[in-house]
Amino acid sequence: MKTWSARFAEGLNPFIQGFNSSIDFDFFLLQEDLDGSIAHARMLGRTGIITVQEATKLEDGLEAIRLGVLKGTVKPDLEDEDVHMFVERRLIKNLGPLGKKLHTGRSRNDQVGTDLRLWLRRRLDELDTDLKNLQVVLFNKAVENLFTLIPGYTHLQRAQPLSLAHHLLAYVEMIQRDRDRFSEIRKRVNICPLGAAALAGTSLPIDRRFTADQLGFLDVYANSLDAVSDRDFAVEFTAASSLVMVHLSRLADEIILWASEEFAFIRLTDRCATGSSLMPQKKNPDVPELVRGKTGRVFGHLQSLLTMIKGLPLSYNKDFQEDKEPIFDTVKTVIDALKAMTILFEEGLEFSIERLNEAVTCDFSNATDVADYLVAKNIPFREAYQIVGRVVRLCLQNEILLKDLSLAQWKEIHSAFEEDIYERLMPQNVVASRVSEGGTGFDRVQEQLNKWKNELISPN
């Protein structure tokens, strides 16, 4: 029998019953639903709305459901529209009339909002750990590779050489912003809607602060209508998750490029790469490709939530039932992607030091340094820039690199050039010279490594 059946003469059309139902996916919220109900039952006992003995029996009954589900003896059936009805029906079945007292002063509208926030709060903590774990593996690789050089690109054209550590730490920074965003969002997720009841509050002497406190919420919603209508946190969460995926996708894309024969900056180990069923020579970067590919799901969830909410009058609307799957899938997608990328950096790839070395010594990515060299000898930058342009053209015509020019040729170009130009052209020196704050100079990168070590490895 449906809980609200007294008002209805006829049963639901069976298809509509299924259409209406959310138990298939909101059963996910079982633990949180039980936690919320236990806090609510305690509050009912404490405020004298029911007796303390009754509250204790309700709590025991709720714990028995938790155990039953764990053991597999209690399962939802077709009659259970959602997780909330599932719990209530079992409670009534087990406790008789007392079970019917649990829902006093509460509605599924404030209940579902509470469950979802409790669920997401837990997942935000998990996400923070997973984000940090990825930061740590990137940091470890950075420590190993302070003096490994990698070509730096703009427009995907060779620009200036970099410390590989500097490149990796750029992602550590992005991930830190992701963590900061989630922790901001967590503050707003951590507000309790319970006690708003259906939309207007209740005439019963409930104690909202008590339930909120029991559930570890920081505060309660000040406005009951807002409490049952607010899904901003879901939008914020999927938006911040979209940015996490953007960051992971960019990193994934670089790994895919680096693993290609054209770049060959990394080798994929057998642990995280697969072969082709047709071409025996191939080793495919499936992990970063999947991370890149999964990004669209999360963007999609953000769009679907925004669209779902935008036209809704206050307060609760059944449309909100559609908020869960996007949130659940976003959490799963982001956590999986983070874990996969972490494993990839731990055991799935090796930087090819020889190849990177070769790459930074056979191009013109030291051309800026020749201009800087002249600037240091008091030649205005624009003039120096033109001089170097001519040098590069000369080299290209003769199919040589800057380091292959003889001192006589340098002198011919400009009398300011001396023997020390050769030292200046060496990629290690090029990188070392970028000492401006935030630059790739080894000393600067070492400072950053120290900072991250304090943040990630040995926080005070």
Q: Applying CB under 6 A, does 32 fall inside the site for ligand ARG?
A: no
Q: Are 194 and 211 in contact (CB under 8 A)?
A: yes
Q: Residue 244: enclosing H or E segment and its boundaries?
A: helix 232-259
Among 148, 249, 321, 342, interactor with ligand ARG by CB under 6 A = 321
Among 82, 88, 110, 130, interactor with ligand ARG by CB under 6 A = 82
Q: How far apart are CA 242 and CA 327, in angstroms?
A: 12
Closest approach of ligand ARG to the CB of residue 89, in Å: 14
What 3-state class would DSSP assign to 154? strand
Q: Are 148 and 356 in contact (CB under 8 A)?
A: yes
Helix, strand and coil content of the chain, in percent to the nearest 5, comes to 65, 5, 30
Give one DSSP letter per residue of 345-382, joined into a string: IIIIEEE-HHHHHHHHHSSSTTHHHHHHHHHHTT--HH
What 3-state class would DSSP assign to 144? helix
Closest approach of ligand ARG to the CB of residue 110, in Å: 9
Single out the segment in contact with ligand ARG by CB under 6 A; choices: 93-101, 108-116, 293-301, 338-346: 108-116
Query: Can you read off the two tokens belonging to residue 180?
Result: 């900061």
Q: How far is CA 30 from the centre of its chain?
A: 24
Single out the segment in contact with ligand ARG by CB under 6 A; choices: 66-74, 275-283, 314-322, 345-353: 314-322
Residues 6+ apart with CB under 8 A from 4: none
Query: Can you read off the two tokens belonging to residue 375?
Result: 């600037």
- Within 168-245, strands assigned E span 191-192, 219-220
β-partners of residue 351 are 266
Q: Applying CB under 6 A, does 328 fall inside the site for ligand ARG?
A: no
β-partners of residue 152 are 160
Give the chain's count of helices (H) and strands (E): 19, 6
Among 40, 90, 108, 424, interactor with ligand ARG by CB under 6 A = 108
- Within 81-136, strands assigned E span none
Strands 219-220 and 191-192: parallel
For ligand ARG, give the closer residue by CB, 105 or 161. Answer: 105
Question: Which of 183, 249, 276, 304 is an active site residue?
Answer: 276
Half-sphere CA count of 102, side-chain side, radius 13 A: 32
For ligand ARG, give the closer residue by CB, 29 or 359. Answer: 29
Closest approach of ligand ARG to the CB of residue 70, in Å: 23
Q: Applying CB under 6 A, does 366 fall inside the site for ligand ARG?
A: no
For ligand ARG, give the closer residue by CB, 179 or 301. Answer: 301
For ligand ARG, give the closer residue by CB, 77 or 419. Answer: 77
Among 37, 109, 148, 330, interactor with ligand ARG by CB under 6 A = 109
Q: How far apart are CA 109 and CA 118, in angstroms?
A: 15
Q: Are 23 and 81 in contact (CB under 8 A)?
A: yes
Q: Applying CB under 6 A, does 190 fall inside the site for ligand ARG?
A: no
Segment 155 to 174, residues that bind ligand ARG, using CB under 6 A? none
224 flagged as catalytic: no
Question: Which of 155, 277, 406, 415 is an active site residue?
Answer: 155
Closest approach of ligand ARG to the CB of residue 33, in Å: 10
Among 86, 139, 265, 320, interactor with ligand ARG by CB under 6 A = 320
Closest approach of ligand ARG to the CB of residue 347, in Å: 41
Q: Applying CB under 6 A, does 229 fall inside the site for ligand ARG?
A: no
Q: Applying CB under 6 A, does 112 fall inside the site for ligand ARG?
A: yes
Single out the segment in contact with ligand ARG by CB under 6 A; choices: 119-127, 269-277, 307-315, 318-326: 318-326
276 flagged as catalytic: yes
Count of residues interacting with ligand ARG (CB under 6 A): 10
Q: Are 373 and 421 in contact (CB under 8 A)?
A: yes
For ligand ARG, give the closer residue by CB, 325 or 455. Answer: 325
Q: Are 199 and 316 in contact (CB under 8 A)?
A: yes
Q: Applying CB under 6 A, does 22 fall inside the site for ligand ARG?
A: yes
Q: Applying CB under 6 A, does 114 fall inside the site for ligand ARG?
A: no
Q: Applying CB under 6 A, does 369 fall inside the site for ligand ARG?
A: no
Closest approach of ligand ARG to the CB of residue 209, in Å: 24
Phi, psi of 201 (to 5 degrees): 90, -170
Binding site for ligand ARG (CB under 6 A): 22, 26, 82, 108-109, 112, 316, 318, 320-321
Active site residues: 155, 276
